[in-house]
Amino acid sequence: MQHCEATKRRVHLVNLDPAAERFEYPPTVDIRELITLEDVMEELGYGPNGGLIYCFEFLMDNLDWLEEQLGDYEDDYLILDCPGQIELYTHIPIMRRLARLLQQWNFQVVGVYCLESQFIEDTAKYFAGVMSATAAMSMLEIPHINVMTKMDLVSDALKDNMDRYFDPDPLLLAEDADRSTGGRFRELNQAIATLIDEFSMVSFLPLNIRDEDSVAYVLSHADNAIQWGEDQEPKEPNDEVEDPDGE
């Protein structure tokens, strides 16, 4: 958000997490105005899971509210913050329906899957990350990018190691994985390495939140995925001026 403001891009935060607590940037659209997890849990006696699913089903039943909220921002950049529960992406078609609807409302949609770098200690864990990203994203059927976050917390020694995840060489990856898994998963490692090689959307982009260039890099990838900027109309001089994407 900071970066977008700095480059004078009109961007809005849409919060879709009914259990969210606090924000650094006040969201322009907030699902908690429609419904909150707390209320659902209190009034209907659901636990945190059931409550979350109920909130989303409620949202699905009240889509005109969402359409209205988003209607003013048709030409702008929207960042939708979604809850982390993977069941919402795999077992229940809610997120998928939402993505479709956004597309129907003429929004270009890209999914950004974030994974913490802390857990990527070796190639086996990296493969685990790739698999979980694919599990979530395959259901949404929208262009997506995978981002490895908290790179600022990674020690220098590890960072060198991690470069091979961002520019993957399938042969090396498969070998690495064989080493860390003790040779049991040889064919499986090969299959996954091939998957990573064939589909760039499966590999990760590093994100160091303290590094402006890193943020810009990730943003430009997201832009590419949705072809942002191609059909921008020139704005009136007294409005915010859009910076042409000329990285």
DSSP 11-63: EEEEE--TT----SS--SEEHHHH--HHHHHHHH---HHHHHHHHHHHHHHTH
Q: What are the Cα distances from residue 200, in Å, to 8, 165, 195, 197?
A: 29, 12, 9, 7
| Interface mask toward other proteins for 103-122; x: CB under 8 A | -------------x-xx---
Are the C-beta atoms of residues 93 and 100 closer than 8 Å to each other?
A: no
Stretch that binds other proteins, among 42-50, 63-71, 105-113, 224-232 (CB under 8 A): 42-50
**Dist. CA 118–CA 132, nearest whole Å:** 15
In the list 14, 98, 124, 154, the residue contacting other proteins (rule: CB under 8 A) is 124
Question: Least distance in Å: CB of 139 to other proteins?
Answer: 5
Site for other proteins in 152-191 (CB under 8 A): 181-182, 184-185, 187-188, 190-191
Provide the token pair at 205: 């982009």
Tell me whether residue 136 or residue 147 sits nearer to other proteins (CB atom). 136
Question: Least distance in Å: CB of 245 to other proteins?
Answer: 24
Angle 99-224-189 (CA atoms, 0-180°, nearest 5)?
80
Q: What are the Cα distances from residue 83, in Å, to 55, 91, 180, 194?
A: 11, 14, 32, 30
The verdict on 210 binding other proteins (CB under 8 A) reads no
Question: Least distance in Å: CB of 137 to other proteins?
Answer: 9
Tell me whether residue 8 or residue 179 sits nearer to other proteins (CB atom). 179
The verdict on 198 binding other proteins (CB under 8 A) reads yes
Tell me whether residue 34 or residue 195 sits nearer to other proteins (CB atom). 195
CA 130 to chain centroid: 14
Number of residues this chain uses to bind other proteins (CB under 8 A): 47
Are the C-beta atoms of residues 120 and 53 closer than 8 Å to each other?
A: no
Contacts of 120 (CB under 8 A, 6+ apart): 126, 129, 148, 162, 165
The verdict on 19 binding other proteins (CB under 8 A) reads yes
Angle 118-122-127 (CA atoms, 0-180°, nearest 5)?
90
Tell me whether residue 70 or residue 139 sits nearer to other proteins (CB atom). 139
Site for other proteins in 130-149 (CB under 8 A): 130-132, 134-136, 138-139, 141
Residues of this chain that bind other proteins (CB under 8 A): 19-21, 37, 47-49, 84-87, 89-92, 116, 118-119, 124-125, 127-132, 134-136, 138-139, 141, 181-182, 184-185, 187-188, 190-192, 194-195, 198-199, 201-202
